[in-house]
Structure 1
Amino acid sequence: MKNNWLKAWRRLGAVLLLTLLSLPPLLAQTAQAAADTPEMADALRQSGKIYVVVLVILLILGGLLFYLVRLDRKVGRLEQELRDDK
């Protein structure tokens, strides 16, 4: 059981590392796009609705992450059961 947690933490660490490594190019593109800011973004920012958009995006990403973690745990349990049956 402890070994499964260690593997899960390693996978999570690898995903986080890849995410952090991919951020600089994304931020560079965002900075370049900020120079050509569309009017819609300005309107959303002025009315305060941009926070609603950001919240919805974060909720969707959080839900996906939660689902993937649950799925990984279930697959890990099934793998453990298969190893124990042999």
Structure 2
Amino acid sequence: MSIRYLLGFLLVLLSTGVQAANPVQDFFQSTGKIYVVFAVILSIFVGIILFLVRIERKINRLENQINPS
């Protein structure tokens, strides 16, 4: 069920990019800097996801040490 909500949210986010571009977006696209902005945003999101996965593994390891089953 949560995957449906996540996919719906991603669909809404991706559909907003189809709308009319504003002047700042036109500037970034015309100078080719839109790829730099995209790469920075993507690297931030990947870093956050990797951080959360790492923290989750550490928490699971600590929980297993406290309550071995």
> Same fold by TM-score, threshold 0.5 exceeded?
yes
Bigger fraction of residues in helix: 1
CA-CA distance at 1:59 after TM superposition: 0.4
- Normalised by the size of structure 2, how large is the TM-score? 0.81
TM-score, normalised on structure 1? 0.67
Query: How big is the shift at 1:43?
Result: 1.0
1:43 and 2:27 are equivalent in the alignment = yes
- For structure 2, the 5+ residue unaligned runs are none
AA at the equivalent of 1:51 = Y
If asked which structure has higher relative contact order (CA below 8 Å, sep 6+), I would say 1
Per-residue deviation, residues 45-85 of structure 1 (Å, max 9, x unmatched): 0111000000000000000000000000000000000112x
* Structure 1 residues not aligned, in runs of 5+: 1-13
1:57 alignment partner AA: I
Q: Quote the offset at 1:39 in angstroms.
A: 1.1
Identity %: 37
